[in-house]
Chains A and B, each alone.
Chain A
Amino acid sequence: MNTFLQLVVNGLGKGAVFALLALGFVIIFKATEVVNFAHGSLVLFGGYLVVVTRESLGWAGASLVGIVSAGLLALLLERFLLSRSRHADANSLALLTIGVDVIITEEIVRRLGVTLPFLGDAWDAQPFQIGGITLFRTHLVALLVAAVLITAFTLAFKYSNWGVAMRAQAENREAAALMGIRSSRVTATAWLVAGVLAGVAVLFIATQDFSGAGLSRGTHSIALAAFPAAILGGLDSTAGAVVGGLVVGLVEALSAQYVSFDFSKSAVFLVMLVVLVVRPSGLFGTRESTRV
């Protein structure tokens, strides 16, 4: 029972990080209907800047730089590449982000070379015991940070002007534009927010407690696991992203323990497949309807 409890806490901690990433996908998708395949490279980029600036700025300063620059990179991508090709449909733009992802990822992996630094200095690898179960600090901090960020996002989404504009745009792009909502500003903010969330997530991913490995190509592939999280919850549902993230975290932790470590990666995707077969647009996604 103790192992199980421990796994659940660990799974939720990982899940919180996946939720942050999945929320990023969902925000971008809601604002622009583009699936951002470059999300993994935003994660790597934020992490890399932490590595570069850590010596001079210390952990806290470097983390801030990493988070901000991941957000800025996302913003630049939107401004300089995606917003320039309005004639292209959302699916082609998704393919464009694949091209971006290949370039950024390869370059950062090249720069990292064989150094694989851990990022979460402030909480990494300091397990402690509560009532017979060992908990990892990374997971607890991740849960806490994700809870705060996701609550803040949800509140902003519901009550702020930006949130209203964003929801209006997600509902009907043309109508929103006609009502005076500046769609380019909404879109740009969506990308910025998604990038910031990716920059936060990498501080947890490249740790001993989370992945057991430092910043590397593996970090990028862990970020890929946020894909099933977003899809499973429904690409256009922010609540779905959170649920999807937690489900993915739990499935990974439990299957790694009870089946095998190798299997845990595919387990996540298998669960997603099952969900998709039953509900083709995810648990909370809007169903597409066709009129004939």
Chain B
Amino acid sequence: MSDTAVKSPAAAPPTPPAKRDRTRLVKALLWIGLLVVLLAIPLYLDAAWLKAGQYMMIGGVGAIGLTLLVGQAGQLSLAHAFFLLAGATGYTVLSGPTDDERVFGLGLDPALSLAGAVVIAALLGLAFAPVSGRLRGIYLGVASLSLVFLGLYLGQSAETLTGGTSTGRTPEPFSLFGFPFTNEGPEIELMGVPIRQAERLWYLFLLLTVLAFVVARAAVSSRIGRSWRAVRDNEAAASVMGVNVTRAKAGAFAVSSAYAGLAGAMTVLWFDILKPDESEFGTYGINISIAFLAMVIIGGLGSVPGALVGALIVNGLPQVLSLYSADLGWFSGTGDGALTPILVSSFVYGAAIILVVLFEPGGLAAIGRRITPSKKPHLPEEQGK
């Protein structure tokens, strides 16, 4: 799990400060440029593409959480789908109507419910600490898989919360201080483009993704991130150095679950329905846990920007393929043995995992690091980024 292979070259010549400032400036400008492009996208692309982009952002938020846990703290987890379900259900129940006799709801403000869903997922992650703290490696991976099966069972049986497998339940649409993220409410136009549901949700998801990204970067380069990496590399050494290993492991699990919870709440907003799975291969099933793991591996374990790129590939590919297929006439076959966008992208990310492990264990992040050697490689926190 550790990416000790990306050790910094010890004898790297110190970069002159002026040059370092310049590269830092260039990098800041690049990030700002990317943000401007992302902000402008709703003005140029239509709703279907925005929807695809939103799905990639859901993957991005979840993948950032998993990369912190697997790459930074060195704990293999296959439970991500469970916490996704927890966040999805948390948001729907907290914001749900109180007077529906079929399902239970608390009628809270949607923004508050979103925060609540994140907290619920984090607490559930914390509740798993007695198990996650004692196990490591593959044992932990399979142990965490049990949460997915538990989620499958609870989703099916707790119908007052989830709405049941047959119909599911509709989540309350998101709104912030009374401003609805739907087609209702005040008509807004930006450069002649009406800002409706698709555009509004795009900006909401973008805000959440940026927040998730910034918080994760801060955590990685702070004391917390250092304690995670210390635990990852050697638990005994970490505890000798004064790291509370149990607390660091529990903390990493809780933070990662919180991210998954947020991604889960975004998922119900995206689908506009909460529907628990009928089998273990569904919206919150094993396949989703594995897809998130794929994003993290492809991006380069422990790298926050890498996780975003991994999400772009794994979650983006099926969306983009299905949008293009209409234009190109691909995937027109139906019935037995038809190639679907989801199938093709499964092949692609399966192959990508194999290639990454065989040829570039550091993932895309390592490739990125190689083509931008200006990064100051001597700081310890750079190792995991």
Contacts and interface: CB of A to CB of B under 8 A. Distances in A.
Interface string B137-166: 111011101100110110011000000000
Contacts of A231: 138-139, 142-143
A276 B346 CA distance: 32
Interface string A233-264: 00100000000000000000000000010110
A100 B339 CA distance: 18
B236 A95 contact: no
A96 B135 contact: no
Interface residues of A, number: 51
Interface string B1-44: 10001000000000000000000000000000000000000000
Interface residues of B, number: 49
Contacts, number: 139
B216 interface: no
A227 B139 contact: no
Interface in B91-132: 130-131
A234 to B, nearest CB: 10
A217 B277 CA distance: 15
A152 interface: no
Given A81-B358, A273-B146, A95 B353 contact: yes
Given A110-B343, A276-B134, A218 B358 contact: no
Contacts of B336: 113-115
A15 B236 CA distance: 38
A263 B153 CA distance: 6
B354 interface: yes
B373 interface: no
Contacts of B134: 276-277, 280
Contacts of B145: 224, 227, 269
Given A95-B297, A276-B131, A276-B139, A102 B279 contact: no
A290 B354 contact: no
Given A113-B335, A231-B142, A280-B134, A96 B353 contact: yes
B354 A277 contact: no
B320 interface: no
Interface in A49-76: none
Contacts of B271: none
B336 to A, nearest CB: 3
A96 B297 CA distance: 10
B242 interface: no
B141 to A, nearest CB: 8
Interface in B69-93: 76
A277 B281 CA distance: 27
Nearest to A273: B146
B150 A266 contact: yes
B50 interface: no
Interface stretch (B217-225, B256-264, B286-294): B286-294
- Most interface-central of A92, A268, A281 (chain B CB within 10 A): A92
**Most A CB within 10 A of own CB, among B156, B336, B347, B358:** B358
Contact of B349 (A94, A95, A102): A102
Interface string A95-127: 110111111001100110111000000000000
Nearest to A100: B354
Interface stretch (A83-91, A135-143, A166-174): A83-91
Contacts of B294: 98-99, 102
Q: Which of B153, B156, B335 has the most CB of A within 10 A?
A: B153
Nearest to B143: A276
A132 B337 CA distance: 46
**How would you classify the secondary structure of chain B's contact residues: helix, strand, loop or mixed?**
helix
Contact of B339 (A101, A110, A224, A282): A110
A91 B138 contact: yes
Nearest to A225: B149
Nearest to B2: A89
Interface in B333-372: 335-339, 343, 346-347, 349-354, 357-358, 361
B280 interface: yes
A270 B156 CA distance: 17
A280 B346 contact: no
Contacts of A165: none
A94 B131 CA distance: 21
Contacts of A260: 157
A84 B150 contact: no
Interface string A201-235: 00000000000000001100100100110010001
Given A96-B353, A100-B350, A273 B358 contact: no
A196 interface: no
B366 to A, nearest CB: 13
Interface string B252-276: 0000000000000000000000000
Contacts of A85: 357-358
Contacts of A114: 335-336
B139 A273 contact: no
B235 interface: yes
A265 B1 contact: no
B188 interface: no
Contact of B152 (A111, A266, A276, A280): A266
Given A91-B138, A266-B150, A269-B150, A102 B346 contact: yes
B240 interface: yes
A272 B281 contact: no
12 contacts: A88-B361, A92-B361, A95-B297, A98-B294, A103-B350, A103-B354, A107-B347, A217-B279, A224-B145, A266-B146, A291-B236, A292-B236
Given A98-B293, A110-B338, A266-B150, 9 more contacts: A85-B358, A87-B361, A99-B357, A100-B350, A103-B354, A110-B337, A266-B152, A277-B134, A290-B235
Interface of A: 35, 81, 84-85, 87-88, 91-96, 98-103, 106-107, 110-111, 113-115, 217-218, 221, 224, 227-228, 231, 235, 260, 262-263, 265-266, 268-270, 272-273, 276-277, 280-282, 290-292
